Amino acid sequence: MRFLPQQKVYDVCIVGSGAGGGMAAWVLTQAGADVVLLEAGGPWDNATDSAMLTWNYESPRRGGGTRERQWGEFDGCIGGWDLDGEPFTRAPGTSFDWFRARMVGGRTNHWGRISLRFGPYDFRRKSIDGLGDDWPIAYDDLKPYYDRVDRLVGIFGSRENLPNEPDGIFLPPPKPRCYELLIKQAAERVGVPCIPSRLSIITRPHNDRPACHYCGQCNRGCRTNSNFSSTNVLIAPALETGKLALITNAMAREVTTDRAGLATGVTYVDKAAGADRHVRARVVVLAASALESARLLLNSRSTRFPQGLANSSGVVGRYITDTTGSGVTGFIPKMMDHVVHNEDGVGGAHLYMPWWLDNRKLDFPRGYHIEIGGGLHMPGAGFLGGIHRYPVGGGYGTTLKDAYRQLFGAYVYLDGRGEMIPNDDCYCEIDPSVVDRWGIPVLRFHWKWSDHEYRQAKHMQETFRAIIAEMGGQVFSPMPTAEQGYGLATGGRIIHELGGVRMGSDPKTSALDAWCQAHDVKNLFVADGAPFVTQADKNPTWTILALAWRTGERIAELRRKGEL
């Protein structure tokens, strides 16, 4: 391939500016490294580009989604399930979806900010129940980094002393909303504990950022920078050090290597110019999101690395997982016509339910937590999900408007988010014949849930229906059957895809060591969700941030010692 030769050799080249890449860039620039960051998407700044204070009714679309703004036209995430010119394929019989962002900050411009630490058991599940694999590190290895992430980024929550839900360094949580209190009361009556959420939104001024003013619009990006996005909390200060060169619209193609088998840099497509370029660096850090990092390695083939880079074990692309998800929405008649009151708060629920049961007494391994929703959000397109389904819904003109007023805020939903166990049927590989618009071979997915996940989804459905019944509510959809997979979401759909370049102590069964450094290529690291060995019943991003911080610090230390 021909590309323009670059003279400058950076200390580190990072690919991707989401949670992992942003943290790696922040840590390494603070440590004084000269860093270049390649980001496939365009520039974005929440302080100026966010639509935080826009009413949905200001637009003829009423805030409805578009192909590029899946979650609404004012949403902060540019990307989607389906990117122009960037396909992926599925093996026959496979259902799998892949949500990608293309912008500075990646998916952290929209994400739900649910920021849960993995617990001590989550790193050693195989030792506990014999399934999957243990991590090569323990909770105590990561705890100091979780603490640092808490202090730097800011998170609210409450101290609960639960065995596998470690407390963090929390700012005060906001008070529960009315509907959240009703859910909590009903949940506790059926034996499910409900506690304050743990979200990376600052409820007090923190590190020169103002406290949240409770506009509830986090998914649009925060103009006051009161929630976490990689864009404004990590990349912006990294740029201020003067040590970071951020190259946007730069789609990495492959990692280049020299005769000794060391990484020398990354080739990328300059999307604006339509030209291939190469950036040189002493260390390469992949953080393009778990599956895209696996793709980059699989595409970095050479005579020396015929199976792709860092893949002598053959595990790159394997052991991929997503969070399990199944949900129930309920209409709560006693919440109709309620006294109008202010339910403003953070852009997310103020309460949640961590896993509370003992799997030894259940017919499935591993747990799930419950995310809740409902209340008086800003109405927009698709509001109430079809008013004709409600007893007083439908009609025209004044009757319809009255029905909307009556029903506003009279529904709740409960969503399970659980742990999947990696299995041999879930993996990605390079499609032998399909390439993207730049000629880069694309991923082909294979996916099959096991009975563990289906049984867990059944338990979610039964539990959520019991809570809604306890609230005196009505569920419109019947209990999904075994044939319907108990409502288990399609793989990838929960957007917590992890693994694909897993870490481990044994180079025969893992691609990275306990520091996320490639066993085969000592100056190559991975800093997103790809190194994860298991999923846990927690959302992954707080662990991606902690792990990326640890990896960045390790690189800085090895460079100081002259070992990189």
Query: Which of residues 31 and 114 has its CB atom nearest to ligand FAD in the complex?
Result: 114
> Phi/psi at 298 (nearest 5 deg)?
-65, -30
* Alpha-carbon torsion angle 166, 168, 172, 176, nearest 10: -30
Which one of ligand SF4, ligand FAD, none is in contact with 325 (Cβ closer than 5 to 8 A by kind)? none
**Considering the rule CB under 6 A, would residue 324 count as an interface residue with ligand SF4?**
no
Positions in 207-246 near ligand SF4 (CB under 6 A): 212-218, 222, 224, 226-227
Q: Considering beta carbons, is residue 123 or 390 the nearer one to ligand FAD?
A: 123
The length of the chain is 564
From the list 10, 13, 18, 313, which residue makes contact with ligand FAD (rule: CB under 6 A)?
Answer: 18
The CB-of-383 to ligand SF4 minimum distance in angstroms stands at 19
In eight-state DSSP terms, residue 317 is: T
| Residue list 45-64, contact with ligand SF4 (CB under 6 A) | 52
Nearest to 373 by CA among 340, 397, 409: 409
Residue 456's H or E segment, with its range, is helix 451-470
Instruction: Pick the closer one to ligand SF4 by CB: 211 or 245.
Output: 211
The encoded tokens of residue 58 equal 């200001």
Should residue 490 be labelled a site residue for ligand SF4 when binding is judged by CB under 6 A?
Answer: no
Residue with tokens 């044994």: 506
Residue of 14, 41, 69, 235 that binds ligand FAD (CB under 6 A)? 41
> What's the half-sphere exposure (Cβ side, CA atoms, 13 Å) at 118?
27
Residues 6 or more apart whose Cβ sits within 8 Å of residue 450 = 421, 423, 425
Among 35, 194, 346, 420, binds ligand SF4 (CB under 6 A): 346
Distance of closest approach, residue 438 Cβ to ligand SF4, in angstroms: 35
Do 48 and 404 touch, CB atoms closer than 8 A?
A: no
Query: Is there binding between residue 150 and ligand FAD (CB under 6 A)?
Result: no
Q: What does DSSP say about strands 263-270 and 351-353: parallel, antiparallel, or unpaired?
A: unpaired
The Cα–Cα gap between 489 and 326 comes to 6
* DSSP characters over 98-153: --EE-BTTGGGGT---B--PPPGGGG-HHHHHS-S---SS-HHHHHHHHHHHHHHH
Structure tokens at 15: 């690919």
Rg of the chain (C-alpha set): 23
102 contacts ligand FAD (rule: CB under 6 A) = yes
**Cα angle 414-419-425, degrees, rounded to a multiple of 5:** 125
Q: Which does 213 bind (CB under 5 to 8 A by kind): ligand SF4, ligand FAD, none?
A: ligand SF4
| Contacted by 544, from ligand SF4, ligand FAD, none: CB < 5 to 8 Å by type | ligand FAD
Three-state DSSP state, 437: coil
Binding flag, residue 464, ligand FAD (CB under 6 A): no
Say which entry of ligand FAD, ligand SF4, none residue 539 contacts (CB below 5 to 8 A, set by partner kind): ligand FAD
Residue with tokens 């293309």: 102
Smallest Cα–Cα separation from 180: which of 19, 9, 40, 371? Answer: 371
Among 13, 35, 251, 468, binds ligand FAD (CB under 6 A): 251
Output 57 or 81, the one with its CB closest to ligand FAD: 81
* 380 contact choice in ligand SF4, ligand FAD, none (CB below 5 to 8 Å, kind-dependent): none
- Contact flag: residue 298 with ligand SF4 (CB under 6 A): no
Residue 287: CB minimum distance to ligand SF4, A: 24
SS3 of residue 474 by DSSP: strand
Q: Which of residues 108-147 bind ligand FAD (CB under 6 A)?
A: 108, 110-114
Binding mask 183-212 for ligand SF4 (x = CB under 6 A): ------------------x----------x
Q: Give residues in contact with ligand FAD (CB under 6 A).
A: 15-21, 38-41, 99, 101-103, 106-108, 110-114, 250-252, 287-290, 292, 495-496, 528-529, 539-541, 544
Positions touching ligand SF4 (CB under 6 A) are 52, 201, 212-218, 222, 224, 226-227, 346-347
